[in-house]
Amino acid sequence: MTCNLKTALCGAVVLAAVSGAAPFVATPAHAGDKQGMAMPATASKGPITISGAWARPTIAKMKITAAYFSAAIADGATDKLIAAKTPVAEKAELHQHIMQGDVAKMRPVDAVPLSADHPVVFQPGGYHIMIMGVKNPPLKEGTTFPLTLTFEKAGDVTVTVNVSKTGGGMNHGTMGHGNMDHGQHK
């Protein structure tokens, strides 16, 4: 019964430390997620980061092109890219290139799964966003346009796409996508 004062002091110190930390926890972490201000080449939302977005220029009246980028997600999180759209074209579809013997073919895919162990690189010869029905062709080299990627959990992420013949020097030439299995488990 003689140590009440000490105990009470100790308790008060702990309480002060806990309540002192609380305002930091309450601060919104992503107040600056707005798109379209500085036209970033990298965009992120929640655990997802999209970077290095580029698309091939079109020539003359060509109304079709493809966009590429890297999609990464934080450790422990998973999501699925399920759709794409852009105001510069009527349609944007998720596509995958596959080799059948010596013939490169492409086909639409419903969804592209994303996890920290399995970041996805959209690149020539693999996954790409097929952009169809370009409204004001040509899409000239050196210009940019917005591309909105829709994720199952994170929702829409809009990234600025650089129109470029080379993708700004990114070199993923040695990566193979030959036999990836993307079976869906809904």
Q: Residue 45 or 128: which CB sits closer to Cu ion?
A: 128
From residue 154, alpha-carbon distances to 78, 100, 103, 127 in Å are: 10, 34, 36, 20
Rg of the chain over Cα atoms, rounded to whole angstroms, equals 23
How near is the Cβ of 33 to Cu ion at its closest, in Å?
30
H or E element at residue 14:
helix 4-26
Q: Residue 130 or 157: which CB sits closer to Cu ion?
A: 130
- Which residues would be at the binding site for Cu ion (CB under 5 A)? 95, 106, 130
Which residue's Cβ has the minimum distance to Cu ion?
Answer: 95
How near is the Cβ of 172 to Cu ion at its closest, in Å?
17
Q: Residue 153 or 177: which CB sits closer to Cu ion?
A: 177
How near is the Cβ of 106 to Cu ion at its closest, in Å?
4
For residue 138, say if its preceding peptide bond is cis, omega within 30 degrees of 0.
Answer: yes
H or E element at residue 109:
none
How near is the Cβ of 86 to Cu ion at its closest, in Å?
14
Q: Residue 10 or 104: which CB sits closer to Cu ion?
A: 104
From residue 26, alpha-carbon distances to 20, 30, 31, 77 in Å are: 11, 12, 12, 22
Q: Residue 85 or 95: which CB sits closer to Cu ion?
A: 95
Q: Residue 92 or 130: which CB sits closer to Cu ion?
A: 130
- CA dihedral (68, 85, 155, 31) in degrees, to 10, reads 80
Strands (E), the chain: 43-45, 48-55, 64-73, 78-85, 89-100, 103-108, 112-115, 120-122, 127-134, 144-151, 155-163
How near is the Cβ of 67 to Cu ion at its closest, in Å?
10
H or E element at residue 87:
none
How near is the Cβ of 82 to Cu ion at its closest, in Å?
17
